[in-house]
Chains A and B, each alone.
Chain A
Amino acid sequence: MSDLWRLTAHEAHEGLRSKQFTAVELTESVLARMEAVEPRVHAYITTTAEVALEQAHQADARFAAGTATPLTGVPVAVKDLIVTAGVRTTAGSRILENFIPPYDSHVYEQLLRAGAVMVGKANMDEFAMGSSTEHSAFGPSHNPWNLSLVPGGSSGGSAAAVAAGECLVALGSDTGGSIRQPAALCGVVGMDPTYGRVSRFGIIAFGSSLDQVGPIGRDVEDVVTMADCISGHDPRDSTSNPEPLPDLRHYLGRDIKGLRIGVPKEYFIAGMEEGVKARIEEALAVFEGLGCIVDRDLSLPSTEHALAVYYLIAPSEASANLARYDGVKYGYSDRSHGTMWENMEHTRAGGFGAEVKRRIMLGTYALSAGYYDAYYLKAQKVRTVINQEFQEAFGRYDVLVTPTSPTVAFPIGAKVDDPYAMYLNDIYTLPASVAGLPSISVPCGLSEGLPVGLQIIGNFFDEPRIVMAAHAFERALGWANRLPEL
């Protein structure tokens, strides 16, 4: 019973349902695992054992009452920009180091409704700005496959927690790759749903037109279970889509013979590691073996501009979103400098980290009078072009398949002082984010002992097809719930 933390959520659900163990036992197993490995992994900013045990007791009561859901009693990590009433929510920033929200995010409400168990608030790059968790004000997380490496980011804590057995599934958020890239680097599955599929109410905003909450898990089925739980219209988020929700579990275990797969050549560029390239080529062969029609001649010529578009739009939105942190109402406040304006300046100077300040400045500049047309407006126009190219592609293909990241996990410290090198980590995940398309990263093997991720991109609200492709691929490859030894 001590290794319950090794189970996937759906395996755990079977065990709970058939009374092989209780939710409290499952939670205690995960809490014990956290005690054992958390000092080395540092997946969490805040652990919530008390909350978890109480929720686990409630979960057991639900099993007894027959009102359990597939997530009842399942230990979950929640990225620390997801607002949780009564539980400190920092967004990885010193400026919110003492912020205890009086309200719940929509996604956390959904988890509570499902009876899930929150074991902690996962570490992240400050305000989700980063690809390694090194920009967390609370110190970096470590990759469970090799503790000297980064787990990716910004949802690095969530991915590391899943891979280290410090939870069974996790919630992350993705703005330009922040779920998929850490999932790839940690050898787990991560899904970024269509923009608008999941309510952003209670998600501390970074890039409002890009942010989307999504699940990270040890196999496609777990990710799908979580996605079904958190998706759906929420009147409190006007960008949340009222489209009817497909039951994604329905698309597990499907035959994908005849699925038309486009492989955009712009994703196979210099800077991509040979080992990554080899795993992707093998993955394409797997799809061909499954009877899919794989076309390697697709061209999405504007792909290379996605990085520039992203680094204009996201920082612009962030420059406004982060204006509220002035030390007056909540959070870190430096009031030792005399006037109100001086105190605000020092609060922001001391409360924000370097990367956050860099992006606030980038965004402020891009929106400034005289620059707006050349930067922000131009970026929006190119965004439309990128969208159109994707739409044309989806006229011919059901899904697109690319690498998730050009490299495997890299050493802590290797890129933290080189922002542009750090930004290039997301080069394959940015285009789908900019377009608002759903995408999923699934493990496709190892390179030099480290996981490689395969990205599957679908059309708007076509999560069913990426789930079908990802699940069929996962089964064919025989890689699911593979955990590194710690």
Chain B
Amino acid sequence: MVAVATDFETVIGLEVHCQLVTKSKMFCGCSADYSGAEPNTHVCPVCLGMPGVLPVINEQAIAFIVKTGLALNCEISPFSKFDRKNYPYPDLMKGYQISQYDLPVCHDGWLDIEVDGATRRIGITRVHMEEDTARLLHRTDPVTGEGYSLLDVNRSGTPLMEIVSEPDMRTPAEAREYLVRLRQILRYIGVSEANMEDGNFRCDANISLRPRGITAFGSKVEVKNMNSFRAVHDALVFEQKRQAAILDAGGSIPQQTRGWVDERGETVSQRSKESAHDYRYFPEPDLPSLRFAPEYVAEQRALLPELPDARRRRFASLGLSEAEAATLTESRDRADYFEDVSRALALDPQRSAKLAANWVLGEVGRWSNTTGKELAAFPVTAEALAGLIRMVEDGKVTSAVGKEVFEEMVASGRAAQEIVESGGMGQISGSDELRDVVRKVIAANDKAVDDYRAGKEAAVKFLTGQAMRETRGRANPQVIQDLLKQELG
């Protein structure tokens, strides 16, 4: 990294393929939600590419790509069309893929990323619509040792969106941040699960090096087979070093496709430019062209939720720290939940925000971390959590008890009020009830009592703590202190 930075500037562009969460596939009525399904059960003559079948455009997918384009600040082409991309492969049922060539639905957008406190604007070249391929499963016969392949057509024809960035990223960290932001937006607008590990968010990277100060691009290498954000980052770091070493030694970088081998932590050559495909694109004659009226685009724009950046700024304006605002807006679910809690608290907006943030980032976040579950699975409603927060605020329970009540709410689904009343978790403020506790503590802690009498004020704190422990946090600490001072006279 250091050696690279001194001599070369890295240029990175990313191509992201992302599956859309439509009900049906891109060009047929089969269910697109095949996860966990038996192989070849979400299929019909159309997505099997049988003779004589024809595609029909999924309107929801088109609405999703338009929303994506708008969220990425793209222009929506008034006129767009589908093209056939021809290449033979056993996972491509028709022998061509319906994709888009020269007139993508969206073009010329941007996405802001923040790395090390600096904001950088990454250009989005285009976003286009296509269909996914079937899935090949490569196996080895355990007896003969011979390799064979199985074909699962469930994935064939599911809507796939390709988002191509400009070569605007300069470090692997920026590339990772771009992916994080992009995934966040896609999830916010509800068009994709955008899960790299599940394969519905896939990334190929183009990377080249050039001497710093030179504007011409070096010859680029395309890196594939990266199955996590970390893999993208590590593969790009590897390529930076590999290419720099070659260039430093006076060599040149051949234009090629390389695959990331995660176990070995290196990229290996897959295909040279000479053997690149001629895809023989031509307009898809089975489909009409797409025309986007300004009214339609405006309609889709109106359906967009508040996007993460805007929401983060708004949260920060409520007095939350930048870090709090960023964490709360990481996912739309979390930001929504935070706002629901805040609204239910119905205090002064800044106070509500602060309290809601503390609990959502604190206890709720801890729940998420320990259970490994998403917020969507969190069993406590925003109203119920706000009820608990209010009890703590009103001094009806201590914050320590509040956390216990929280656990109980998660476990039982009962309301805070009910738990406190039935379980005796309310704060005890009555002197009569607490006097026995205080006497017991005095009797059991001779040393502290002696210290106090010797003038060490700090001993009161210790004795108070002991009394709190006796009551499992339910005692009102102020009452305890007062009683201690009375008893010790």
B55 close to chain A: CB less than 8 A: yes
Q: CB distance B93 to A209 under 8 Å?
A: no
The reply on A205 being an interface residue by CB < 8 A is: yes
A368–B279 CA distance with the chains assembled, in angstroms:
8
Whether B51 contacts A323 by the Cβ 8 Å rule is no
Question: Is B282 among interface residues, defined by CB-CB distance under 8 A?
Answer: yes
- Checking B48, B282, B285 against A367 with a beta-carbon cut-off of 8 angstroms, the contacting residue is B282
Which stretch, B82-90, B251-259, B302-310, touches the partner chain A? B82-90
For residue B54, CB closer than 8 A to chain A, the reply is: yes
Task: Find out whether the CB atom of B95 lies under 8 angstroms from the CB atom of A320.
Answer: yes
Bitwise interface map of B from 41 to 56 toward A, beta carbon under 8 Å scored 1, else 0:
0000100111111111
**Residue in chain B with minimal CB distance to A102:** B45
Given contacts A319-B86, A368-B278, contact A237 B54 (CB under 8 A): yes
How many angstroms from the CA of A334 to the CA of B444 in the assembled complex? Answer: 93
Which residues does chain A contribute within 8 Å of B280, judged by CB atoms?
319-320, 364, 367-369, 372
| Contact present for B53 and A239 (CB under 8 Å) | no
**Does the CB pair B287–A91 fall under 8 Å?**
no
> In the complex, which residues 267-320 of chain B have their Cβ closer than 8 Å to any Cβ of chain A?
278, 280-282, 285-288
Question: 0/1 per residue, A148-164, Cβ < 8 Å to B?
Answer: 00000000000000000
Please indicate the chain A residues that have their CB under 8 angstroms from the CB of B288 in the complex. Answer: 238-239
Q: How near does chain B come to A387, taking the closest CB pair, in angstroms?
A: 15
How many residues on chain A are close to B (CB under 8 Å)?
44
In the bound assembly, the distance between CA atoms of A308 and B127 in angstroms comes to 36
Residues of B within 8 A of A317 (CB): 282, 285
Contact B56 A204 (CB under 8 A): no
Interface code A301-326, partner B: CB below 8 Å = 1, 0 otherwise? 00000000000000011011011111
Question: Within 8 Å CB of A96, what residues of B?
Answer: 51
Q: Which of B50, B52, B93, B280 has the most CB of A within 10 A?
A: B52
B58 nearest CB across to chain A (Å): 12
Query: In the complex where A83-B52, A102-B45, A103-B45 touch, is A324 in contact with B95 (Cβ < 8 A)?
Result: yes
CB proximity of B59 to chain A, nearest CB, Å: 12
Contact B54 A200 (CB under 8 A): yes
When A239-B286, A323-B94 are in contact, do A103 and B50 touch as well, CB less than 8 Å?
yes
Which residue from A237, A239, A330, A367 sits with its C-beta under 8 Å from B50?
Answer: A330
Does chain A have a CB within 8 A of B96? yes
Least distance between B15 CB and chain A CB atoms (Å): 20
Pick from A89, A317, A344 the residue with the most CB of B within 10 Å: A317
**Within B18-39, which residues are at the interface with A (CB < 8 Å)?**
none
- Secondary structure type dominating chain A contacts: loop
B52–A105 touching, CB < 8 Å: yes
Whether B57 is near chain A, meaning CB under 8 Å from some CB there, is yes
In the complex, chain A residues 77-104 whose Cβ is within 8 Å of any chain B Cβ: 81-83, 89, 91, 96, 99, 101-103
From B45, which residue of chain A is reached at the shortest CB distance?
Answer: A103
Q: Is A376 an interface residue (CB 8 A)?
A: yes
The CA-CA distance from A101 to B53 in the complex, in Å, is 11
Nearest to A200 among chain B residues (CB) is: B54
* B: interface residue count bin: 20 to 34
Let me know if A113 is at the binding interface, CB within 8 A: no
CB of A64 within 8 A of chain B?
Answer: no
Which among B53, B57, B278, B282 is the interface contact of A320 at CB below 8 angstroms? B282
Nearest B residue to A199 by beta-carbon distance? Answer: B54
Given contacts A103-B45, A326-B95, A367-B282, whether A202 and B52 have CB atoms under 8 Å apart is: yes
Question: Are A238 and B51 interface neighbours, CB within 8 A?
Answer: no
A320 to B90, CA, bound (A): 15
Does chain B have a CB within 8 A of A284? no
Q: How far is the CA of A103 from the CA of B86 in the complex (A)?
A: 26
- The answer on a CB contact under 8 Å between B49 and A324 is yes
Report A91-125 CB contacts with B as 1/0, cut-off 8 Å. Answer: 10000100101110100000000000000000000
* Complex contact B285–A323 (CB within 8 A): no
How near does chain B come to A302, taking the closest CB pair, in angstroms? Answer: 21
- CB-CB nearest in chain A for B148: A340
| Cα A214 to Cα B55 with chains together (Å) | 22
Cβ-defined contact, A204 with B52, below 8 A: yes
CA distance A196 to B151 in the complex (A): 35
Using CB atoms, name the residue of chain B closest to A205: B52
**Which residues in A have their C-beta under 8 angstroms from that of B94?**
320, 323-324
On whether the beta carbons of A328 and B90 are closer than 8 Å, the reply is yes
CA distance A367 to B277 in the complex (A): 13
A236–B28 Cα distance when bound, in Å, is 9
Q: Verify A238–B286 contact, CB threshold 8 A.
A: yes
Considering the complex, give the chain B residue whose CB is closest to the CB of A127: B51
A205: B residues at CB distance < 8 A? 51-52, 286
- Which residues of the partner chain A approach B45 to less than 8 Å between Cβ atoms? 101-103
Say yes or no: A320 contacts B50, CB within 8 Å: no
Give the docked Cα–Cα distance between A376 and B281 (Å): 11
Residues in A whose Cβ lies below 8 Å from that of B53: 103, 201-202
How long is the Cα–Cα vector from A322 to B53 in the complex, in angstroms?
13
B208 → chain A, closest Cβ, in Å?
23
Measured between beta carbons, the chain B residues less than 8 angstroms from A81 are 52
Smallest CB gap from A89: residue in B: B51
Q: Which of B57, B93, B95, B278 contacts A238 (CB 8 A)?
A: B57
Q: Could you tell me the distance between the alpha carbons of A304 and B256 in the complex, rounded to whole angstroms?
A: 46
Query: A236 near B282 (CB under 8 angstroms)?
Result: no
B49, B53, B86 — most chain A CB neighbours (10 Å): B53
From 266 to 324 in chain A, residues with beta carbon under 8 angstroms from any chain B beta carbon are 316-317, 319-320, 322-324
Q: Shortest distance in angstroms between A460's beta carbon and chain B's nearest beta carbon?
A: 16
CB-CB < 8 A to B50: which residues of A?
101-103, 329-330
Instruction: Enumerate chain B residues within 8 angstroms of A203, measured Cβ to Cβ.
Output: 52
> Which residue of chain B lies nearest to A105 when distances are taken between CB atoms in the complex?
B52
Q: Is the C-beta of A235 less than 8 angstroms from some C-beta in chain B?
A: yes
* Distance of A96 Cα from B288 Cα, bound (Å): 29
Check B88 against A329 for contact (C-beta < 8 Å). Answer: no
- Are A316 and B282 in contact, with the CB atoms below 8 A? yes
Supposing A316-B282, A326-B88, A368-B280 touch, asked if A235 and B52 sit within 8 A by C-beta, the answer is no
> CA of A235 to CA of B28 in the docked complex: distance in angstroms?
11
Chain A residues whose C-beta falls within 8 Å of the C-beta of B55 in the assembled complex: 238
Closest to B278 in A: A369
Identify 21 residue pairs between A and B in the complex whose beta-carbon atoms are under 8 Å apart, listed by A's number: A81-B52, A103-B45, A105-B52, A204-B51, A205-B286, A208-B286, A237-B286, A320-B84, A320-B94, A320-B282, A323-B96, A324-B51, A324-B93, A324-B95, A325-B95, A326-B88, A326-B95, A329-B93, A344-B88, A367-B282, A376-B282
Using A205-B286, A238-B55, A319-B280 as known contacts, list a sample of 5 further A-B pairs with CB atoms less than 8 Å apart, ordered by residue number in A: A103-B50, A200-B54, A202-B52, A237-B54, A330-B50
The 9 A-B pairs with the shortest beta carbon distances in the complex, nearest first, are A323-B95, A367-B280, A208-B285, A209-B285, A204-B51, A202-B52, A83-B52, A204-B52, A369-B278
